[in-house]
Amino acid sequence: MARAKRTMIWILAIVLCHHALAFWLQRMVLFPGASMPPGNARPPEGAVRLELPGDPEAAHAFLLPPLGGTSPAPLLVYTHGNAEFVEWSFDLVEPYRRAGFHVLLPEYRGFGHANGSPSMDAIVADVIAHIAAAKARPEVDATHVVYHGRSLGGGVLGTVAGLLPPDRLILEASFSSVRSMAGSFTVPPYLVRDNFSPSAALAGPYAGPVLLLHSQDDEVIPFAESDQNLEAARSNGNRPKSMKATRIEASDGMGHNDPWLHRAQADIMGFALRR
């Protein structure tokens, strides 16, 4: 009896240690960019650095001007992955600028040259504030706003879409929720501190058009996560048939970090420009 009791105590101690480590270390896994050396790329000509006055911990954003088109011009919000910085997106989003979009690139707290420490609540609040500031500018057409989130950025803008809906939403190589992914890292879902959840927004408050971009050979975020997002969007009874969710897939070895803006540029621009 005493041996069984000691065994149970050891098991309990191991579980408690695992849970404590999972709770405290999970943000290092979810936000590795916060501990990486910052990028130093110069912003493109005409870019405006946006700050959020009143909060010294808030992250900054860059607003890049369109490379043509009419004024006011539509707004494209692009959020990057968890091991990247906004500077890495300057060249990547150029197709949107050529298509006539202003491009808003919010940074995450603690990433690169940004202040603060990353968390879901802080990042979502910063992104919403930057979107509102960009939409208030006279050169921006606030009636045509598109979100494009990649990987963690899809979790960010998927969550934001449930609070501040865009006209169109693009989720690239993203997950359905952090809790859905947690088991892959031996973290029980109930311990997840930052549950970015595009699927919750797609199934409920966001009923606009959705474009999913995902490779069946994604080695970081399983294709099944895209299936869950697609199912969530199609289950939303408030989404008109004219605003159905669509998906572009790849099955030829395309990896998680291979950019869809290079592979399916025409399809993405066609979706983003539609009114």
pLDDT value, residue 20 = 52
Give the pLDDT of residue 21.
60
| Distance in angstroms between the alpha carbons of the first and the last residue of the chain | 71
State yes or no: pLDDT of 243 exceeds 80: no
Burial class (CB in 10 A: 0-12, 13-18, 19+), 42: exposed
Q: What is the mean pLDDT of residues 242-247?
A: 85
User: What pLDDT is recorded for position 179?
Assistant: 96
Give CA separation, 104 vs 136, 186, 259, in Å. Answer: 13, 35, 18
Buried-exposed string 21-36: b where 16+ CB fall within 10 A, e elsewhere: ebeeebbeebbebbee
Instruction: Quote the mean pLDDT of the chain.
Output: 91
- Is the pLDDT confidence value at 48 over 90? yes
CA 230 to mean position of chain CA atoms: 16
Query: What is the per-residue pLDDT for 40?
Result: 82
Q: What percent of the chain stands above pLDDT 70? A: 91
**Nearest Cα residue to 87 out of 123, 40, 127:** 40
**With 90 as the cut, is the pLDDT of residue 244 above it?**
no
Which of these ranges, 155-169, 175-189, 260-274, has the smallest mean pLDDT? 175-189
Which residues neighbour 129 within 8 Å (Cβ) at sequence distance 6 or greater?
52, 58
What does the pLDDT look like over 86-138, one tens digit per residue? 999 999 999 999 999 999 999 999 999 999 999 999 999 999 999 999 999 99
pLDDT of residue 18: 47
- Selection from 116, 194, 126, 138 nearest residue 164 by Cα: 126
Condensed to tens digits (0 to 9), the pLDDT of residues 4-22 reads 666 565 555 554 554 556 5
Q: What is the 3-state secondary structure (H, E, C) of 8-58?
A: HHHHHHHHHHHHHHHHHHHHHHHCHHHHCCCCCCCCCCCCEEECCCCCCCC
* The pLDDT value given to residue 135: 98
Contact between residue 107 and residue 129 where contact means Cβ atoms under 8 Å apart: no
pLDDT at res. 261: 96
Q: Quick one: CA dihedral 123, 126, 129, 133, positive or negative?
A: negative
Average pLDDT of the residues in 201-225: 96
